[in-house]
Structures are given as C-alpha cells and as structure tokens.
C-alpha cells in the first residue's frame, strides 16, 4: 500500500476551473492524499482573486494540506509530484480575437478548431515547453497532466521538442459526451461505460460503447436516440447547460447521419458543417463573450463573495456538483499504478492501425506509474482516415511554423484546413492574426 502524500501545483492558478478542481481534490483525500497544493500563474492579480478564496476553502476543509500561490517558477515547481497544466496564453482577450478574426472572412471562429485553434496552439507551445523545463529542473520525477489547449498541437510539440518528458495531454470533451451517453441509456455516469474510441483531439469517433458491468452493446440504443436528439439529454441533466452548448449537442444528430457506423465527438460539427457554424455565429458576440458574461463572472464573483464572507460555506461548487473528477482519477491512476483506462493524446505507434506511427492521436490508454500505454483501436474508416490525415497535417505544420519561424508553413496549415475554403482567405486571416499575436508567436518570416 502506498502511503505517500502528494504535492500538486496548478499552472494557471487563475483559471476559471481552479476552484472546482480544488474542491474535487479535497473531496478525494482518502483516494489521493495530499501534503501540499500550490498555484502558479504569470498574472498575479488574476491568480490572487482565486488564491484568496481557495485559502479560505483549504483552511476550512483541508487544513492539513499546505497551500500557497506564487508567480515564482522555482517556488512553484520545486518539490511537486504533479503539475496540472491549465493555462490560457493570451487569456480571453486573445481567444476573442481567435474567434472574431476568422468570422470577418466568413470562416469558422472557434477556440480549438480552424484558424483560431491553430493560432491558440502556436501561442501555447512556448509556454508549455517552458513549464515542462521548469518541472524537469526543479522536480525531475514529477508528471505533468496538461489540458491547456490546443491539445493536439501542444502534444505534437511535446513529442517533437521534449521527447521523453513526463507529460500527458488529456481532454474532457469525450468524457462529457460519454456522460451524456450514460444518461441516455439510464446509467449513472460515464464511469458505467466501456468504450473503444479513436481520432485526434476534438476530432474522433466511438466504435463501441458498452455497459461496463454487463457488457451490453449500447450502440443500437444510442444510435436510435442520437439520430433524433444528438447528445442532448434535456430535463434536469441539462438545466445549467448554456445555449451554445445546447445547439452543439443537438447538432450531433446531423454529424451522426453523415457517418452512421460510429458516434462522433461533438466537435466534428466544425469540420462537417463549417458554413452552418458561420451562418449561426454572431461575429460581435462569440463563445468568449458568453464565458465572460457567464462562467468567468460567476467564478470570480463567487471567489469575491467567499473572501468577503470569510467562509466558503454553501459555495456554488458544493451545490452545482463538480466536473473535474476525471483529472483526480487520472492522477490517482498514475500515483497508485492502477492501469485504468482513459483517453490520451499521444504518438500513434500503431494504436490506429492505418495511421502513421508519429501521428498524434486521441485513443484509449492504460494510465499507471510508467505513464500511459496506448491501446490498439483497430482500423480507421476510410472517411475518418481522410479527415484525420488532413487535420493532423495542419497540426504538424503549425509545429513546423514554430520550429522554423516559417510564415509559409503557418499559411499552409491554414490553407489545408477543412474550415478554410481558399488559400487567399487563409492569407487574409493569417495576416490579421500576426500583429495581434506578436507578444506570443515567434516572428514568422
Ligand atoms: P482562464 O483564462 O480562466 O485561466 C487560464 C490562466 O492561465 C489565467 O489565469 C492566465 O493568467 C494563466 N496563464 C496564461 N499564460 C500563462 C503562462 N504562460 N504561465 C502561467 N499562467 C498562464 O482559462 P480557462 O478557461 O480556465 O482554461 C484553462 C485551460 O484549460 C485552457 O487552455 C483551456 O483551453 C483548457 N481547457 C481544457 C479542457 C480540456 O479538457 N482539454 C477543457 C476546458 C478548458
Ligand atoms: C472552455 O470551457 O473554455 C472551452 O474549453 C470550451 C468552451 O467553449 O466552453
């Protein structure tokens, strides 16, 4: 029995997801006991707002765990077992531009897909590599669990530029979709589901979905439901779901009909129906505005309320339930060598039989003390393989652009992407993005 107590640092301490994650960690102390929790951020003021509220939460609920927040990398990354990567380089200001610049030219404007996703990926690469370097310098035995986007591009940069680093790139979108599948089938949660899934990040398909306990094949039931309703559950399940997400989960019905052998990751909407996305977007009010008006306002408002009240009693995360349990499950699996199955973004190495070994793919993997062991998922369908080849080439070209400081590689990444109709449009979008990204991108020549 492992009786070690763990030290965790959250990089991006000022993230809107931080308080919920902290409460999940506290709730899991019997499963994943901790001795220290630290936050690291490069925006002291933003982090302080979350940090001061979390100080009160920790004092009330887990006084045995030492807590601090800092902007000093040495302090943050020394003596840690796990680094959680939750940064947003350029914050919501840059996400807003990622969304709005492409829409000006009639192109999909979205956080992690299309030109916005590639722009965001290029911003994230140097910051994530820097965090890995600090981790390796100050805590060489630590693992980094990264969910900072754009995951597919970050994972390709890690594969190429930090080979062997103890970094695992993960995403919660398939878990959200699987939780919906569980609800549709009358099960409690995604934990009750066994699955075979393959693809790239925000770009994948379920081949198999089963009841974990009984082995029952749930695909026929799900297909019948999804054809009509997508992954929209409705009722109590969806009482807090924002309008843009409602549209997203309902749109899965059309995605499914295009490829009825498998069930799609809901992000396929951006690649199958880019014109629909643009037609339904408001170029002056995008998802960023929705988050600033909703999630960010709620999170920072609640932190302020906790600090003023001097207590975290009855906080919103206690009431609304938490959504980051899977991250605790993942660090628990690594710490306790459980070899549980989760999805990971990693080098293919045969996991999808008809994709190149060096493709970054999102596939099931066993998580343990030695990191991840990707599982074989079989052959990708012809349709899926064609889509993946195009998309992963875009992702590789973004990393080429980073390494070579190449304008042309970034332009090729945009021109190749399924969401952009024409290389001249790609050029206009890129040329608008370069000056605003100057503080974060290498100079592209
Ligand atoms: P946020 O803007 O609320 O918080 C991000 C924090 O990162 C900010 O406090 C910011 O100051 C900080 N930051 C930016 N650059 C930094 C750097 N170089 N070093 C240290 N800190 C830095 O963002 P959020 O909405 O909470 O999202 C956080 C990340 O998680 C994003 O990358 C988002 O895309 C990602 N995300 C991933 C998943 C997933 O499952 N893969 C799901 C949701 C969000
Ligand atoms: C986020 O929650 O910020 C994104 O990762 C997904 C979204 O648009 O809500």
Per-residue confidence (pLDDT) for residue 202, from 0 to 100 = 98
Residue pLDDT, tens place only, 138-147: 999 999 999 9
Residues at the binding site for substrate are 95, 149, 287
Distance of alpha carbon 425 from alpha carbon 390, whole angstroms? 18
Distance of alpha carbon 123 from alpha carbon 126, whole angstroms? 7
Q: What is the mean pLDDT of the chain?
A: 97
Per-residue confidence (pLDDT) for residue 75, from 0 to 100 = 98
Once rounded to an integer, what is the mean pLDDT over residues 130-156?
98
Reply yes or no on whether the pLDDT at 321 is more than 70.
no
Reply yes or no on whether the pLDDT at 428 is more than 90.
yes
Per-residue confidence (pLDDT) for residue 1, from 0 to 100 = 59
CB of residue 177 inside a 6 A radius of ligand 1: no
Give the list of residues 6+ apart from residue 97 with CB closer than 8 angstroms, or none: 433, 436
Per-residue confidence (pLDDT) for residue 325, from 0 to 100 = 86
CA of 85 to the centre of ligand 1 (A): 8
CA of 307 to the centre of ligand 2 (A): 26
Name the residue with tokens 């080439």.
393
Predicted complex ipTM? 0.96
Per-residue confidence (pLDDT) for residue 318, from 0 to 100 = 84
Q: Are 408 and 370 in contact (CB under 8 A)?
A: no
Per-residue confidence (pLDDT) for residue 32, from 0 to 100 = 97
* 143-147, 249-253, 320-324, 352-356: range with lowest mean pLDDT: 320-324
Query: Would residue 79 show up in a list of annotated catalytic residues for this protein?
Result: no
Once rounded to an integer, what is the mean pLDDT over residues 414-437?
98
Sign of the alpha-carbon torsion through 337, 340, 341, 343: negative
Residue pLDDT, tens place only, 160-188: 999 999 999 999 999 999 999 999 999 99
Of 43, 172, 254, 432, which residue is the catalytic one? 172
Ligand nearest to the CA of 151: 1
Q: Which residue has the higher pLDDT, 232 or 323?
A: 232
Per-residue confidence (pLDDT) for residue 423, from 0 to 100 = 98
Helix extents (H) in 310-422:
316-320, 325-335, 382-404, 407-416
Per-residue confidence (pLDDT) for residue 409, from 0 to 100 = 98
Adjacent-strand bridge partners of 37? 8, 67
CB of residue 111 inside a 6 A radius of ligand 2: yes
Query: Would residue 267 show up in a list of annotated catalytic residues for this protein?
Result: yes
348: helix, strand or coil = coil
Residue pLDDT, tens place only, 261-290: 999 999 999 999 999 999 999 999 999 999
CA of 391 to the centre of ligand 1 (A): 23
Pocket probe mutation, ligand 2, options 291, 294, 295, 296, max atoms within 8 Å of Cβ: 291
Ligand nearest to the CA of 243: 2
Once rounded to an integer, what is the mean pLDDT over residues 348-369?
98
Once rounded to an integer, what is the mean pLDDT over residues 367-388?
98
Ligand 2 atom at shortest distance from the alpha carbon of 88: 3
Adjacent-strand bridge partners of 263? 206
Distance of alpha carbon 193 from alpha carbon 215, whole angstroms? 9
CA of 13 to the centre of ligand 1 (A): 9
Q: Which residue has the higher pLDDT, 321 or 153?
A: 153
Reply yes or no on whether the pLDDT at 118 is more than 60.
yes
Residue pLDDT, tens place only, 217-276: 999 999 999 999 999 999 999 998 989 999 999 999 999 999 999 999 999 999 999 999
Distance of alpha carbon 12 from alpha carbon 288, whole angstroms? 18
Q: Are 341 and 348 in contact (CB under 8 A)?
A: no
Per-residue confidence (pLDDT) for residue 3, from 0 to 100 = 85
CA of 368 to the centre of ligand 1 (A): 25
Ligand 2 atom at shortest distance from the alpha carbon of 111: 8
Reply yes or no on whether the pLDDT at 342 is more than 70.
yes
Residues at the binding site are 95, 149, 171, 202, 287
Percent over 90 (pLDDT), the chain: 96
CB of residue 86 inside a 6 A radius of ligand 1: yes
CB of residue 11 inside a 6 A radius of ligand 1: yes
State phi, psi for 301 to the nearest 5 degrees: -60, -45
Once rounded to an integer, what is the mean pLDDT over residues 199-220?
98
């Amino acid at each position: 029995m492992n009786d070690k107590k763990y030290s965790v640092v959250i990089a991006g301490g000022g993230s809107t997801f931080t308080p919920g994650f902290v409460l999940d960690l506290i709730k899991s102390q019997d499963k994943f006991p901790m001795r220290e929790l630290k936050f690291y951020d490069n925006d002291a003021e933003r982090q302080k707002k979350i940090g001061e509220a979390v100080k009160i939460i920790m004092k009330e609920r887990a006084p045995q765990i030492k807590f601090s927040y800092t902007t000093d990398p040495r302090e943050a990354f020394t003596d840690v077992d796990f680094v959680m990567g939750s940064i947003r380089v350029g914050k919501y200001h840059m996400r807003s531009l990622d969304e709005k610049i492409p829409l000006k030219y009639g192109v999909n404007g979205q956080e992690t897909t299309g030109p916005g996703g590639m722009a965001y990926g290029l911003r994230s690469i140097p910051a994530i590599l820097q965090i890995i370097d600090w981790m390796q310098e100050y805590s060489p035995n630590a693992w980094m669990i990264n969910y900072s986007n754009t995951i597919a591009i970050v994972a390709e940069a890690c594969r190429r530029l930090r080979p062997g680093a103890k970094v695992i790139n993960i995403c919660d979108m398939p878990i959200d979709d699987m939780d919906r599948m569980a609800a549709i089938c009358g099960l409690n949660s995604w934990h009750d589901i066994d699955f075979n899934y393959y693809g790239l990040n925000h770009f994948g398909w379920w081949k198999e979905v089963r009841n974990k306990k009984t082995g029952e094949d749930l695909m026929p039931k799900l297909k019948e439901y999804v054809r009509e309703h997508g992954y929209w559950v409705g009722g109590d399940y969806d009482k807090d779901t924002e309008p843009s997400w409602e549209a997203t989960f309902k749109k899965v019905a059309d995605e499914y009909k295009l490829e009825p052998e498998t069930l799609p990751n809901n992000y396929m909407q951006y690649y199958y129906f880019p014109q629909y996305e643009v037609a339904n977007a408001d170029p002056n009010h995008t998802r960023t505005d929705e988050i600033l008006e909703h999630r960010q306002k709620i999170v920072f408002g609640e932190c302020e309320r906790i600090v003023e009240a001097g207590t975290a009693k009855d906080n919103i995360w206690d009431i609304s339930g938490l959504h980051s349990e899977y991250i605790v499950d993942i660090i628990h699996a690594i710490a306790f060598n459980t070899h549980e199955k989760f999805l990971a973004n990693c080098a293919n190495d045969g996991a999808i039989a008809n994709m190149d070994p060096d493709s970054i793919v999102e596939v099931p993997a066993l998580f343990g003390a030695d990191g991840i062991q990707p599982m074989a998922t079989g052959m990708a369908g012809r349709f899926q393989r064609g889509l993946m080849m195009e998309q992963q080439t875009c992702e590789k070209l973004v990393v080429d652009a980073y390494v070579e400081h190449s304008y042309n590689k970034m332009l090729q990444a945009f021109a190749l992407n399924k969401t952009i109709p024409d290389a001249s449009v790609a050029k206009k979008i890129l040329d608008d993005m370069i000056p605003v990204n100057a503080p974060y991108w290498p100079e592209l020549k």
